Amino acid sequence: MVSVEEHAARVAALLSFEPGLEDLPLNQALGRVTASAILSPVDLPLFRNSQMDGFAVHAADVATVPATLPIVGEVAARAASPAALLPGTAVRIMTGAVVPEGADAVIPVEDTTTTDNQVSITRSRSTGEYVRDRGSDALAGSQLLPSGQLLAARHLAVLAAAGLDTVSVVTRPRVAVITTGAELISAGETPEPGQIFDANQVALMAAATSAGAEVTLARRVIDEPALLLAALGEAASVADIILTSGGISHGDYEVVRELLEPRGAWVGHVAMQPGGPQATAVFEGIPVICFPGNPVSTQLSFEIFVAPVLRALSGLPQARQSTRTLNDSVRSVEGKRQFLRGRIEGQSVTPVAGPGSHLVAGLAAADCLIVIPESVTGVALGETVEVWEL
Amino acid sequence: MVSVEEHAARVAALLSFEPGLEDLPLNQALGRVTASAILSPVDLPLFRNSQMDGFAVHAADVATVPATLPIVGEVAARAASPAALLPGTAVRIMTGAVVPEGADAVIPVEDTTTTDNQVSITRSRSTGEYVRDRGSDALAGSQLLPSGQLLAARHLAVLAAAGLDTVSVVTRPRVAVITTGAELISAGETPEPGQIFDANQVALMAAATSAGAEVTLARRVIDEPALLLAALGEAASVADIILTSGGISHGDYEVVRELLEPRGAWVGHVAMQPGGPQATAVFEGIPVICFPGNPVSTQLSFEIFVAPVLRALSGLPQARQSTRTLNDSVRSVEGKRQFLRGRIEGQSVTPVAGPGSHLVAGLAAADCLIVIPESVTGVALGETVEVWEL
């Protein structure tokens, strides 16, 4: 029996490949992660411009107010280079418009009155006021985004503002999901006694996607080594990581174990509940992470062993961990780490459903895992427990 | 000048439409929100089954241990209805397999030794142990998921386990984005003096998507009423909400204002920085929310007025709000709510860049907004401020 940490390290080592890069148009890059630091190709702002609708002036001309200046023209936001502003004159200017050479302050329109071709200015402004200097937000060559930045709207916005139309991001790990079990049927089929609907395919596809992966294949195979072999071959050609469920414990029909153990798989038992049986292998150069078939075991095994690695590869935040007060008392098996399902309420947490690995509805009703360490055989009401948010 | 609350209420009222419903296959429903409570069509588990690999027995036969029972057969996970188990006998059983009628406990294989056709049992088990009763996770007709559930992997898993292959979810609000401004150019073009790259289209598309909407149209129009009219008409035919940027302040080339004010738009000033100028309208029955053109103003206006409504419509969690210690001192204009950009570090927050509405790189470097109330003209280092996480 190996510890949770040992198995987590084994899985992480298997999945420690270098991610690839791809250039994406900005409007397809939301939620992706920069592959390198992005430097600005330009100064931002691109040119010195006005922060207000008002009048561009020489600040020295409004040192004493009220001051009245002739209006010599207008600079609209759409305008190209305006003529230099002579001292003793003012030019009407729109927000964002080029501040003419010579002008060094903008007087907001609300501090002015205009008559005919003259503007009266009631408040003094010093050099630079309401003028946005070229490069004052970012200089050409400076870093707009670091490497590993998870791209939200505001990050894409600055790339667009700098005139970029694509961004180099880390490729998503490609995941194939293979569920096994002769007892599994699809939605729409009528279950015979002993048959169950396959929940693991949907669960692993969604969980891998949530953790930043791209699911490139999903297959279900009955307990037939030739069929599993074919599915693994197909998966290895389109995926960076293969996930399987079922077929790894000690029964007589353990197809994953039968097929992969002779090919060098590690098959063993991890000191945890649920999810004890676990396995890892490499098939045609592709890492294969094998989970037990019980749907709760599969889902928690993914969350504990694979999700942290995928999130790190994808630059996604890890699940929040905290400590809470237990709203109940629970028992646990010595020597095994137990992952109970719970619901957070303020600073406390309440176990939901039981510890059974078949309680899929119970897991769906939970919003966290309550982690009971290996050395603990019971936690009393009101004691503190570690909680992982789902 | 209206308050932030007044304008937020105006926008929320305009966007208060009933969302539609759609049925999606489970593997397309990740991140979507249930349109109604989902009841289980079946008992879960579907049948009474074994929690362990081991032997199904009559518990009474193992009341005294060691007990030795003849092995009369085997129930594999794939097997259909096994024969009833006679008292005084045991049947080998796999995890998940149907527990035969008559049997009322399962003895884990590790508590047994087998010789020939007999099993010796070393530990007593009481009625029901290691037997998963039919319906013990969820009874047919009981609620698997509430209405409004944001669907994660574990929620899709329980629907799959219950044999469902689709789920009824709320449709995503359809958003059209129209950016305006004669000064705007696209990536790849060479900016003339006075021209800037359009950051608002990318920003609003990504922000709307992040808030749970589907962007169905994005157009950029120069300051030409006929072109804007055409874009609005196109948008109204494919969107539930139209967002515009630019063209709503008091200059001479305010195309959004010129076109929509005669059609009954509200155009005004909200007591906030950045983002003061705001407008709302209804065009061909579709709500139009108009933001100022400065990219930081547009992004924050979306975050403050539209994102909370979209998230609520989409069942997404709202931005986290908290109070933090300010790592700096800041000034603010009396009578306006200021939204500074900041970075959270532990329990404190540090302003990044300045308050200017053109600082797109500054916004990209931020991870929160620091909210300075209307009545406050300055916050000293070490004082407490309200923070909205981005």
Q: Delimit the domains of chain B by residue range.
A: 4-19+172-314, 23-43+138-170, 49-132, 321-389
Average pLDDT of the segment spanning A331-346: 95
Q: Tell me: the pLDDT tens digits for A289-302?
A: 999 999 999 999 99
Whether residues B363 and A157 touch (CB distance < 8 A) is answered with: yes
Report the SS3 class of residue B357: coil
B367 CA: distance to closest CA in chain A (Å): 10
Q: Tell me: the pLDDT tens digits for B185-244?
A: 999 999 988 999 999 999 999 999 999 999 999 999 988 999 999 999 999 999 999 999
Q: Are B386 and A73 in contact (CB under 8 A)?
A: no
Q: Which residue of A has its CA nearest to B181?
A: A78
Same CATH topology for B23-43+138-170 and B49-132? no
Tell me: pLDDT of B75 over 90: no
A321-389, CATH topology level: Beta-clip (2.40.340)
Alpha carbon A253 to its chain's center: 39
Q: Which residues of B touch A32 (CB under 8 A)?
A: none
Whether residues A138 and B198 touch (CB distance < 8 A) is answered with: no
Output B304-308 pairs: Cβ under 8 A, ≥24 positions apart. Answer: B304/B4, B304/B8, B304/B272, B304/B275, B304/B339, B305/B7, B305/B8, B305/B11, B305/B278, B306/B11, B306/B15, B306/B208, B306/B211, B306/B241, B306/B243, B307/B207, B307/B210, B307/B211, B308/B8, B308/B12
User: Concatenated DSSP letters for B225-239?
Assistant: HHHHHHHHHHHHHH-
CA distances from A224 to A268, B38, B53 (A): 21, 35, 20
Q: Which residues of B touch A157 (CB under 8 A)?
A: 199-200, 202-203, 206, 295, 299, 360, 363-364
A331 CA: distance to closest CA in chain B (Å): 16
B49-132, CATH topology level: Molybdopterin biosynthesis moeA protein; domain 3 (2.170.190)
Q: Which two tokens stand for residue A341?
A: 């399902």
For strand B330-331 and strand B378-379, is the pairing parallel, antiparallel, or unpaired? antiparallel
B295 CA: distance to closest CA in chain A (Å): 8
Q: Tell me: the pLDDT tens digits for A71-121?
A: 999 987 666 778 899 999 999 998 889 999 999 999 999 899 999 899 999
DSSP state of B172: P
Q: What is residue B361's predicted lDDT score, i.e. its pLDDT?
A: 97
Q: Tell me: the pLDDT tens digits for A340-373?
A: 999 999 999 999 988 888 899 999 999 999 999 9
**Axis crossing angle, helix B307-314 with helix B4-14, rounded to the nearest 10:** 40
Q: What is residue A18's predicted lDDT score, i.e. its pLDDT?
A: 85
Average pLDDT of the segment spanning A47-60: 94
Q: What is residue B355's predicted lDDT score, i.e. its pLDDT?
A: 83
Q: Using CB atoms, pick whichever of B96, B194, B358 lies closest to residue A97.
A: B194
- Average pLDDT over chain B, rounded to an integer: 94
A21-44+136-170, CATH topology level: Molybdopterin biosynthesis moea protein, domain 2 (3.90.105)
CA angle, corner A318, sides to A316 and A321, nearest 5?
160
Tell me: pLDDT of B79 over 80: no
The pTM for the full model equals: 0.91
Best A26, A360, A368, A389 member to test B by mutation, with max B CBs in 10 Å, is A360
Q: Which residues, 6+ apart, have CB-to-CB distance to A9 below 8 Å?
A: none
Whether residues B30 and A209 touch (CB distance < 8 A) is answered with: yes
Q: Which two tokens stand for residue B317?
A: 């969690």
B148 CA: distance to closest CA in chain A (Å): 13
Q: Using CB atoms, pick whichever of A154, A194, A360 lies closest to residue B47.
A: A194
A4-19+172-314, CATH topology level: Molybdenum Cofactor Biosythetic Enzyme; Chain A (3.40.980)
Q: Using CB atoms, pick whichever of A155, A202, A251 lies closest to residue B364.
A: A155
Best A202, A216, A297, A368 member to test B by mutation, with max B CBs in 10 Å, is A202
Q: Using CB atoms, pick whichever of A81, A165, A362 lies closest to residue B188.
A: A165
A197 CA: distance to closest CA in chain B (Å): 5
Q: Tell me: the pLDDT tens digits for B142-173?
A: 999 999 999 999 999 999 999 999 999 999 99
Distance CA B371, CA B384 (A): 11
Q: Are B331 and B378 in contact (CB under 8 A)?
A: yes
CA distances from A89 to A104, B157, B381 (A): 12, 72, 42
Bridge partner residues of B170 (DSSP) = B21
Whether residues B161 and A195 touch (CB distance < 8 A) is answered with: no
Tell me: pLDDT of A230 over 70: yes
Pick A76 or B337 by higher pLDDT. Answer: B337
Average pLDDT of the segment spanning A371-388: 96
CATH of domain B23-43+138-170: 3.90.105.10
B383 CA: distance to closest CA in chain A (Å): 26
Q: Which two tokens stand for residue A8?
A: 């987590």
CA-closest candidate to residue A218, choices A206, B29, A11, B160: A206
Q: What is the largest CA-CA distance in chain B?
A: 98
Q: Which residues, 6+ apart, have CB-to-CB distance to A262 below 8 Å?
A: none
Q: Which residues of B touch A195 (CB under 8 A)?
A: 46
